[in-house]
Amino acid sequence: MHELSLCRSIYGIAERAAAGRAVTQILLDVGQLRQVVPETLVYCWGVVTEESALEGSQLRVTSIPAVIACADCGANTTLQGVPMLLCGRCGGGSVSVTSGEEFLVRSIDVKD
């Protein structure tokens, strides 16, 4: 379960950014192609922050859909279900991923 190690890393980032202030919420963007289960990440956050300076803070995860751009026809396709890296319009395989690989701490909310 790599979500636990991800939460430990997020904890370190949040703790440094908070500089001793109480953290209320962390907003996180996670791309569909990252193979991270948002519910598991939120659960692990509770485990990692238990009895710590960040206990009670909320981890809010925004899932970012995977989108590919076709070099052949110019179409953008949002991937559904099991990712097939083929253009949704022309079926071409000359595509590039334009979103879905994100793993970004968007913001850390602290009490003043």
Q: Please name the helix (run of DSSP H) or strand (run of DSSP E) that holds residue 108, with its range, or none.
A: strand 103-110
Say if residue 54's pLDDT is above 90.
Answer: yes
Q: Where are the domains of the chain?
A: 2-110
Cα–Cα dist 112/99, whole Å = 34
Reported confidence tier of residue 92, pLDDT bands at 50, 70, 90: very high
The third-level CATH classification (topology) of the domain covering 2-110 is hypothetical protein PF0899 fold (3.30.2320)
Characterize the bridge pairing of strands 23-31 and 58-64. Answer: parallel
- List the one residue out of 84, 102, 101 whose CA is nearest residue 93: 84
Say if residue 1's pLDDT is above 70.
Answer: no
Residue type, 1: M
Lowest mean pLDDT segment, chosen from 10-14, 63-67, 82-86: 82-86
Both ends of the chain: CA-CA distance in Å? 34
- List the one residue out of 59, 45, 62, 44 whose CA is nearest residue 99: 62
